Amino acid sequence: MSLNRRNFIAGSAALASTPALGAVSASGEVDVAIVGAGAAGIAAARKVAAAKRRYVLLEASDRIGGRCLTETGTFGVPYDRGAHWLHVPEINPLGKLAPRGFEVYPAPPGQKLRIGKRNAREGEMEDYLSTVVRANRAIQDASRGKTDVSCMQALPKDLGDWRPAVEFVLGPFGCGKNLDEISAVDFARSVERDVDSYCRQGLGALVAKLGSELTVQLRAPVTRMVSTRNFVEMDAGRGFIKARAAIVTVSNGVLAADKIKFMPDLPPRHRDAVAKLTLGSYDHVALELKGNPLQLRNDDLVFEKASGAKTAALLANVSGTPLAMVELAGKFGAELAKAGEAAMTDFAISWLADLFGADVKKAIGKTHATRWNSEPWALGAFSAAAVNGQPGRKALMEPVRERLFFAGEAIHETLWGTVGGAWESGERAADAALRLWGRR
């Protein structure tokens, strides 16, 4: 199976840049082709470049960073439209790689809980936290059973009126999906993420900086990948690339939508993994709140004692700015996102007014809502395995026909759903690809 080579030389010349490491040769041939310039793709490309191998980094959109994006145009301050948390900072590679000019600082400990229009009292907070611990422990216990079950099935039956809050915190907020959609084994194997850091300049800005010295071909969507005995050949929009190894780092949403046609088709084990590691829904409704009308500290995280699934979380005074982010996630968040930005913003403002009083509406300036489920090169937020889907993470680590590798947040067994996990996965795939030359 070979790709049509009409205009091959012209297409290759269009992709080629200066004759430097990472440039495409006149024949369109490289050592390693990396598809997707998000965190995993950038990490992989840095590894391959350091090994002095000729590579090409192909990105379908007009920017690098993938689901990490910081912009300052909307509010005049850094605004992470995508990933914002640096989870598990003691082992997170992004924090260690932050260059001069980027400040990574610890998130304040703990969280706040609103009950109606007041803060939870000390005893109420203890009840809530102990209920969260009990629910976590029950899921951990269930994960050790002979068969996998959903996290919802594993929850204790006696959570009382704390149940909606616990379900939201562990499910939509933590995983982007409701607990009935999440494997207990997958949940249990994830590293606890109760210690976090933030980047004052924005996590998306940090990821983009780490990729700024790489040669990247933008607006180059890969639509077909053909594996032959010695090469992986691909249609990259403006030309054809022929690589001795290929690393695919696109989101599982893109893979599940069959935006890339693999020839021959992926093995059943890989196809099944993609189908069971679908992306959840997680969006920000960002609100400008000058003068700190909520009287919260910088980066305070606030939940409510919810009475049902229609709830959210609040991250206040982001990195010391007037920016507040209302976090909408899971099935309810997806419904709001589908209804549009106006519906999302209306809910976020009403939700805040219910917790802090109607006067908060007068303090709101500019607003913006993300809709990652509609982003064509993301099609969702981050992965969480369905029941019996957790082994798919390891399956996707296996190369296809020895030359095709996968990487991304979905392809990490313990740090799935995180930028750090995506980065480690990209480095791991690059190491595996480079071993082709070690064997030779």
Distances from the Cα of 427 to the Cα of 50, 199, 247, 406, angstroms = 11, 22, 10, 11
Tell me yes or no: is domain 108-190+280-377 CATH 3.40.640.10. no
Tokens of 263: 């020839």
Give pLDDT tens digits for 239-291: 789 999 999 999 999 999 999 999 999 999 999 999 999 999 999 999 999 99
Distances from the Cα of 334 to the Cα of 40, 276, 280, angstroms = 25, 18, 8
Whole-number Å distance between alpha carbons of 418 and 412: 9
Tokens 């700024």 correspond to what residue?
212
Q: What pTM was computed for the model?
A: 0.93
Whole-number Å distance between alpha carbons of 254 and 378: 6
Res. 295: pLDDT tops 60: yes
Res. 1: pLDDT tops 60: no
Strand order in the sheet with 118-119: 118-119, 112-115, 301-304, 313-315, 323-329, 282-289, 364-369
Res. 8: pLDDT tops 80: no
Helix axes 39-50, 419-439, angle to 10 degrees: 30
CATH number, domain 8-64+211-276+387-439: 3.50.50.60
Give pLDDT tens digits for 83-130: 999 999 999 999 899 999 999 999 999 899 999 999 999 999 999 999
What are the phi and psi torsion angles at 225 (to 5°)? -135, 120
Residue boundaries of the structural domains of the chain? 8-64+211-276+387-439, 108-190+280-377
pLDDT at residue 149 in the model: 98
pLDDT at residue 432 in the model: 97
Distances from the Cα of 67 to the Cα of 279, 382, 417, angstroms = 12, 9, 11
Tokens of 201: 């300049």
Say what percent of the chain tops pLDDT 90. 89
Give pLDDT tens digits for 168-200: 999 999 999 999 999 999 999 998 888 899 999
Q: Are 398 and 371 in contact (CB under 8 A)?
A: no
Whole-number Å distance between alpha carbons of 324 and 356: 14
Tokens of 196: 């976090």
The pLDDT mean for the chain works out to 93
